[in-house]
A = this chain, B = another copy of it.
Amino acid sequence: MGPGPSNVAPSVLKAMAMPLVGHLDPVFIKMMEEIKTMLRAVFQTQNLMTFPVSGTGSAGMEFCFVNLIEPGDEVLIGVNGVFGTRMCDVAERCGAKVTKVEAPWGRIIEAQQIADALKESRPKLVAIVHAETSTGAWTPVEEISRLAHDAGALLLLDTVTSLAGCPVKIDEWQVDAVYSGTQKCLSCPPGLSPVSLSPRAMEAATRRKTKVQSWYLDVNMLAAYWGQERVYHHTAPISMNYALHEALRLVLEEGLENRWRRHERNHLALKSGLEATGLVLAGQEGHRLWPLNAVQVPNGVDEAVVRKKLLNDFNIEIGAGLGPLKGKIWRVGLMGETSSLPNVKAFLSALGQILNESGRKTNAEATSAAAAA
């Protein structure tokens, strides 16, 4: 129940254990096609260039920037947590001139902020994090997309924690470049990064004046490998693709809408359960993610001790706060297979026991201190 990797379905684990075939085997090539088709369904896009990058979510982020950015290009990046901050670093390493649009960690990037920033710059690319895994903030995309396109920019979206856990509609929202990870709401082990580029983004990538600085992530070569030409580029991680194939099949079997509703239901169950014991979710009202729940650490509680007890005594992993939220929040993932009512109940019960126990200890210490005095 941390911020990922989430639990993995037995059939996905079983797929990982299947014997290897070659990466040019007809069986594997058929599987590559099916993965692309299923990924398009999950991203809700018709983009031809939709496939899993052979690396983790951060490789997917880098894939998007290295292909779309050339030295000197301007980019506008929404920064309200770890992953917006990371985007700036990645973009600068591509030689981009970065303008940051910042919000306090835990809050969303408001469309008005983007509108204001676009009055002062003409970026090639506007990049935002749909679902900030470090804070649980859920930034709406549609209005920002309209603003970006009106300004002649491409829109890049991080959906690492949102894909298959809450609505992600790449074509409807006119997103030009998007990346995700396998180990969150897709409930597949980490190791691949599903990405999708719109025809407009592909045009930008193919009309570059300079070579893409990363050979490994160059979409021009990857398009020939994952496309009909099958030009050898690298050896795709076979077993990871077996796993992703099965994980996507399970997502579509459940149905995207059903899956979103399940994530919403369990998020609300967690929220109610916490409130019943006097705890609250951190973050901005109306913009809290379903898959990633930031729980406020009560005053006087050592959050690290609680996390350690959860792991060692109850076999439940949750995540710590990062950056300015370190020590202030716990991050409770309800992603993919992990998003279930039994998990919510087990977590609430374990957390309640730990906090009660430490409360009793504190009271006992206070009493004994008072007695001694």
- A interface residues with partner B (beta carbon < 8 Å): 2, 4-8, 13-14, 16-25, 54-59, 61-62, 86, 89-90, 92-94, 181, 183, 189-191, 211-216, 232-240, 243, 311, 317, 322
Q: Which residues of B contact A23 (CB under 8 A)?
A: 5, 190
Tell me, rounded to whole Å, the shortest Cβ–Cβ distance linking A206 to chain B.
16
Q: How far is the CA of A191 from the CA of B215 in the complex (A)?
A: 16
- A237 with B56, Cβ < 8 A, contacts A90-B215, A93-B215 known: yes
Given contacts A55-B59, A56-B54, A240-B191, contact A19 B7 (CB under 8 A): yes
Dominant secondary structure at the A interface: loop
Pairs of residues from A and B, 4 with the lowest C-beta to C-beta distance, nearest first: A191-B237, A17-B17, A189-B239, A16-B16
The smallest C-beta distance from A361 to any residue of chain B, in angstroms, reads 24
Q: How far is the CA of A89 from the CA of B7 in the complex (A)?
A: 40
Contact A93 B211 (CB under 8 A): yes
Docked pose: A234 CA to B190 CA in angstroms:
10
Instruction: Verify A5–B238 contact, CB threshold 8 A.
Output: yes
With A20-B5, A235-B4, A238-B5 as contacts: A54 and B191 at CB distance below 8 Å: yes
A5-B23, A240-B191 known; A58-B93 Cβ under 8 A: no
| Contact between chains at B183 and A235 (CB < 8 Å) | yes
Can you name 19 A-B pairs with beta carbons within 8 Å? Answer: A13-B16, A13-B18, A16-B239, A20-B183, A25-B311, A54-B59, A56-B234, A57-B235, A58-B215, A59-B234, A90-B215, A92-B211, A181-B235, A189-B240, A190-B237, A190-B239, A191-B191, A239-B243, A240-B240
- Cross-chain contact of A216 among B59, B239, B322 (Cβ < 8 A): B59
Query: Assuming A7-B20, A16-B17, A235-B56, is B191 touching A93 (CB within 8 A)?
Result: no
